[in-house]
Amino acid sequence: MGDHNVLLLPKNDRKVVFVTGCAKGGIGFEYCKAFAERNCRVFASDLPGRMHDMSDLLSEDVEALEVDVSSDDSVASAVETIIKKCGQIDVVINNAGISSTGPLAEMPLDIVRQAWEINTLGQLRVVQHVAPHMASRRSGCIVNVGSVVGLAPTPWAGSYCSSKAAVHAMSHALRVELRPFGVNVVLVLPGAIRSNFGSAAVERLGLQDWRLYHDFKESIAERAKASQGAKATDAGLLARHVASKVLSQKPPKQIVFGHMTGLFAILTWSPLWVRDLFFSKRFKLNKKL
């Protein structure tokens, strides 16, 4: 019997899923595949200059959209396009994000601001454009992507960690605020997931020249690619796990998944001196200059 037992929804009953940050090699690319495999109609989006990176995704089930999450007009246009084509948006995966590595005492504020604009306000911008539509239908699910480092921030990534910690705070507030309208909010906390995120982080880091932290240059570079070790979880595994949970009858409030999530759970609940000692040793900050 096998596949004959799989119930596929009629075309008009298919879930419409909007995913941000979907260039090839990233986790968003895998989210699109995972939801398409579950018979959803998927709108994959990324920056205008990266549309060719999504060509392998395109099919009857997956359509590409240009979206810059730092632009109100761009997000509004994408949401309007999807609603005109499908009449609804059932699920939003707020996946778009950028790395931001370096010592906070020396990082240019423009770089910190960009991380917050994309990683934090970018997610809220999408929420503000889809929430009224979902609320009018008394149905929908907003999935915000945080990170375990938003719970236990690491040295050399304070800018990125704080942008994700803010996503956590916003998601917990949104979950309660949108409940009266029948809209679910799910917070995803990935661990170390294998993707092109580490190489992008190293590439962005190459533009910086540290003065105060010149002696820590190697350690800072190591942090940029720390999530991409041999034991990092496959992005497809994360995406399929999230799709399964989000499309269930009662989506969870939070999904924690991937390599190193156990370690970060311990660090989150540990006394601060334990956390400081661990990170000081791990990132070579246990020496006096």
Domain boundaries, the chain: 9-282
8-state DSSP, 14: P
**Alpha-carbon gap, residue 43 to 125, rounded angstroms:** 17
Residue among 11, 160, 225, 250 flagged as catalytic: 160
Q: Contact 100/111 with Cβ under 8 angstroms?
A: yes
Known active-site residue 160: yes
Question: Tokens at residue 260, please?
Answer: 């190193």
Residue among 164, 213, 253, 284 flagged as catalytic: 164
* Predicted local confidence at residue 186, as pLDDT: 98
3-class DSSP assignment, residue 239: helix
What is the homologous superfamily of the domain 9-282 according to CATH? NAD(P)-binding Rossmann-like Domain (3.40.50.720)
Q: Contact 104/117 with Cβ under 8 angstroms?
A: no
Per-block mean pLDDT, blocks of 10 residues, the chain (289 long): 43 86 95 98 94 89 96 98 98 96 95 97 98 98 98 97 98 98 98 83 73 92 86 95 97 97 97 97 89
Model-level pTM?
A: 0.92
* Predicted local confidence at residue 226, as pLDDT: 83
* Predicted local confidence at residue 270, as pLDDT: 98
* Predicted local confidence at residue 288, as pLDDT: 79
Known active-site residue 164: yes
Beta bridge partners of 193: 233
* Predicted local confidence at residue 52, as pLDDT: 86
